[in-house]
Amino acid sequence: MKLPTIYLEDDYSAMARRGGEIVADIVRRSSRLVVALPTGSTSVGLYADLARRHREDGLSFRHVITFNLDEYRGIPKDDPESYHVFMERNLFAHVDIPASARHLPDPLAASSGDEVRRYEEAIDAAGGIDLAVLGVGANGHIAFNEPGDYVTGPTHVAALTDDTWTRNFPSLAPLREKNPEVRARYATAYTVGVGTILRARRILLLASGQAKASVLASAVRGSVTPNIPASFLQLHPDVTMVLDRAAGDWSLVKP
Ligand code: GLP
């Protein structure tokens, strides 16, 4: 077991800049790099920082191959909530990652069983993940590996917990009572497994905000448990965490 390297930054922007600096440094020093990518509000700032480095400093991503960590299942790729749309808007449209080097699970694949195998095999065929960039859910989920889910496995289909659903779709939550179809539309997702993540050569986790403090403290200091999927990162020898002050303030969290 090895403790992660933790950077504590003042606020969200400083977290995003530090994350960008770490990723940019790895991108610059590699001739070929396979990166796993998260979505969510935490990653928006990171992607904006990387886009700025591409625009202003000429940082090139032409040798980078990306695999997104997850995607909702059963929606079209151009659904406004899809991670295809999120990635295009926040990163792909602004940097020079070749289109053929960007991978996400296909939300409308005819067979989920075939799709999870295809995705895992594509990661293996690319040589495995060099750098897995992660966010974390307030309940400790990484990618869409929810607490108590089949966490140590490979890519699979996971069911979103109500808590994650409500946090991920704040604007849709009020519609949910009247229209259960809205909840059902984003009920499941393809996710790489914690097993896939743990095979990455390096892991970089970013987190911001007080809502993440308690779960991060447990993930880093507590036992390794499927109830907190992020706690499995304790089993990895090369984890860096970049936290803003609120996410890194564990003073009120019971040991
Ligand atoms: C989603 C993603 C996760 C991400 C999490 C955190 O559930 N599937 O990969 O880590 O959101 O989101 P946020 O950064 O918005 O807190």
Active site residue 68: no
Task: Provide the pLDDT for residue 149.
Answer: 67
Of these ranges, 87-101, 146-160, 182-196, the one predicted with the greatest mean pLDDT is 87-101
Cβ atoms 37, 43 nearer than 8 A: yes
Residues 136-150 have a mean pLDDT of 91
* Domain ranges (residues) in the chain: 5-157+188-248
Q: Which residue has the higher pLDDT, 171 or 35?
A: 35
- 206 has a pLDDT exceeding 80: yes
Per CATH, is 5-157+188-248 categorized as 3.40.50.1360?
Answer: yes
Active site residue 141: yes
Q: By alpha-carbon position, which residue is closest to atom 13 of ligand 1? A: 40
pLDDT-derived band at 182, boundaries 50, 70, 90: confident
- Which pair of structure tokens corresponds to residue 130? 């060099």
Q: Give percent of the chain with pLDDT exceeding 70.
A: 98
Cβ atoms 96, 62 nearer than 8 A: yes
Q: Record the pTM.
A: 0.95
Task: Provide the pLDDT for residue 1.
Answer: 63
Which of 44, 141, 162, 164 to mutate for ligand 1's pocket (most ligand atoms within 8 Å of CB)? 141
Question: Which amino acid belongs to residue 215?
Answer: V
Query: Of the listed 49, 71, 120, 146, which one is catalytic?
Result: 146
Question: Which atom of ligand 1 lies at the shortest distance from residue 164's CA?
Answer: 7
Instruction: Tell me the CA–centroid distance for residue 41 and ligand 1, in Å.
Output: 7
Active site residue 162: no
Instruction: Tell me the CA–centroid distance for residue 43 and ligand 1, in Å.
Output: 8
Consecutive H or E run containing 21: helix 12-29
Task: Provide the pLDDT for residue 175.
Answer: 80
pLDDT per position as a tens digit, 44-88: 999 999 999 999 999 999 999 999 999 999 999 999 999 999 999
Task: Provide the pLDDT for residue 163.
Answer: 86
- 179 has a pLDDT exceeding 90: no
Report how far residue 46's alpha carbon sits from residue 207's, in angstroms, rounded to the nearest whole number: 11
* Alpha carbon distances (Å) from 156 to 77, 123, 177, 182, 207: 18, 14, 29, 22, 24
Residues 143-147 have a mean pLDDT of 94
- 194 has a pLDDT exceeding 80: yes
Give Cα 152 to chain centroid, integer Å.
16
Task: Provide the pLDDT for residue 152.
Answer: 75
Strands 33-37 and 70-72: unpaired
Phi and psi at 206, nearest 5°, equal: -115, 140
Lowest mean pLDDT among 95-104, 125-134, 168-177, 193-202: 168-177
Q: Which residues line the pocket of ligand 1, CB cutoff 6 A?
A: 38-42, 69-70, 135-137, 143-144, 164, 168
Task: Provide the pLDDT for residue 255.
Answer: 61
Active site residue 139: yes
Lowest mean pLDDT among 55-69, 112-126, 137-151, 199-213: 137-151
- Which pair of structure tokens corresponds to residue 39? 């979505």
Q: Among residues 205, 194, 223, which one has the least CA distance to residue 6?
A: 205
Give Cα 42 to chain centroid, integer Å.
9
Q: Among residues 117, 128, 141, 137, which one has the least CA distance to residue 35?
A: 128
Q: Where are the alpha helices (DSSP H) in 82-130?
A: 83-90, 112-125
Query: Of the listed 49, 54, 68, 70, which one is catalytic?
Result: 70
Task: Provide the pLDDT for residue 167.
Answer: 87
Instruction: Tell me the CA–centroid distance for residue 126 and ligand 1, in Å.
Output: 25
- 150 has a pLDDT exceeding 80: no
Report which DSSP code applies to 128: S
Which of 37, 39, 210 to mutate for ligand 1's pocket (most ligand atoms within 8 Å of CB)? 39
Rg of the chain over Cα atoms, rounded to whole angstroms, equals 17
Q: Among residues 110, 106, 107, 105, which one has the least CA distance to residue 74?
A: 107
Cβ atoms 48, 17 nearer than 8 A: no
Which of 47, 168, 194, 206 to mutate for ligand 1's pocket (most ligand atoms within 8 Å of CB)? 168
Contacts of 113 (CB under 8 A, 6+ apart): none
Which residues sit opposite 242 in a β-bridge? 7, 206
Report how far residue 54's alpha carbon sits from residue 209's, in angstroms, rounded to the nearest whole number: 27
Residues 88-110 have a mean pLDDT of 98
